[in-house]
Amino acid sequence: MTTTLRPEGPETPTAAGGRTRRWRILANGRPVGALRTTSTRHGSQFWGEISELEVFEGRGRGRGTFGALAAEEVLRGWDCTRVDVNVPEWAPVARSLAATLGYTERMRNLSKSLTTAPALPAGVTARPIDAAELPAWLDRAAEGYVVSLMGSGLSEEQARAKSLSDHRNVLPNGADSPGVALRRLYGADGGREPLGSLWVDLHLRDLPDGAPLAWVMVVEVSPAHRGRGHGRTLMLLAERECLAAGVRELGLNVFSGNDVAVRLYDSLGYRVTNRCYGKAL
């Protein structure tokens, strides 16, 4: 039996400076599955993604494996130096396939449905990060993001390009950008040194039913104040900001290996919805 990959439609350019195409997986000329390949430019490098992979006939015969490997060859031909796949948590077979093909988990997406605004611990206050404070704070946050991205497998160039792109997209007007909450947490003494900081995008994307999904972009405890529960307080503050804006779904990323953060989010009721796997090409 001969398994091949054939274009389902034309190749189209993407807004991110790459291209995308949908493919059919054929067995002896008969459609048995499908997938999509997409490339995105990060600096001078291209970064690939395989998505929409499905086998609707003859599962368990290696057709998904063939499709994924053939898609990798397409992305190599598009000059991609790495590839990512996003796997829903409810798809253990797909997670097993990713592991078999040499992909490693880079990060997890988590989410929580919000109902009631939680109370903050006594003695803490939150203040907006104003326009004068924002540039220096954002530089530090961006550098921390670069370090995390590199730790998850990206090259320094890819990490810096992605960090710059993400920050520009979500904060086009700095502190005055609509739909964002930028906060610093202070202790009871009202001191000038913050306990930590928070950045929540309140309308990053929509759920399938059209409901807005907020996203935690940054939650950071100042080094001198770590290990005292302030990370939990910042997450409670994020939930309050969402509910105040009328948003009842909150999501976030956690990089693989950050066990402290994973335990915190689990204790707050966040559940894994998706896992991102990647490998070099």
Q: What is the pLDDT of residues 235-257, one digit of tens each?
A: 999 999 999 998 999 999 998 88
- Helix, strand, coil percentages in the chain from 3-state DSSP, rounded to 5: 30, 40, 30
Phi, psi of 178 (to 5 degrees): -75, 150
Could you count the other beta carbons within 10 Å of the beta carbon of residue 83? 25
pLDDT value, residue 255: 86
CA distance 175 to 169: 13
Residues 34 and 137 in one domain: no
The pTM of the full predicted model, rounded to 2 decimals, is: 0.83
Q: 157 and 83 in one domain?
A: no
Residue 162 CA to residue 147 CA, distance in Å, equals: 12
pLDDT at 228 over 70: yes
Domain boundary (44, 69, 102) is at 102
Task: Tell me what pLDDT residue 153 has.
Answer: 74
Residues 221, 127, single domain; the answer is yes
Residues 241 and 168 in one domain: yes
Lookup: tokens for 193 = 């040194």
pLDDT: which is higher, 3 or 40 = 40
Between CA 143 and CA 152 the distance in angstroms is 14
107 lies in some domain: no
Are residues 37 and 75 located together in one domain of the fold?
yes
Token pair listed for 2: 């001969």
Residues 117 and 248 in one domain: yes
| 248 domain-assigned | yes
Task: Please tell me the total count of domains within the chain.
Answer: 2
Model confidence band, residue 190 (pLDDT cutoffs 50, 70, 90): low
For residue 30, the domain's CATH number is 3.40.630.30
User: Based on the domain organization, do 134 and 261 belong to the same domain?
Assistant: yes
Distance CA 277, CA 96 (A): 11
- Beta pairing, strands 249-255 & 212-221: parallel
Query: Residue 70: which domain range?
Result: 3-102
Distance CA 240, CA 216 (A): 12
- Final residue before a domain boundary, out of 50, 78, 102: 102
Same domain for 68 and 173? no
- Predicted confidence at residue 171, as pLDDT, reads 74
Domain endpoint, select from 54, 75, 102: 102
Per-residue model confidence (pLDDT) at position 1 = 61
Residue 44 inside a domain? The answer is: yes
Do residue 182 and residue 81 come from a single domain? no
Same domain for 19 and 155: no
According to DSSP, the residues that pair with 199 across neighbouring strands are 182, 218
**pLDDT the model gives residue 202:** 84
Q: Is the domain of 265 the same as that of 132? A: yes
Q: How long, in residues, is the chain?
A: 281
Tell me what the pLDDT averaged over the chain comes to: 87
Tell me the two tokens of residue 225.
């104040």
Residue 17 lies in a domain: yes
Q: Over 70: is that where the pLDDT of 207 sits?
A: no
pLDDT of residue 198: 93
CB atoms within 10 A of CB 63: 20
User: Same domain for 33 and 129?
Assistant: no
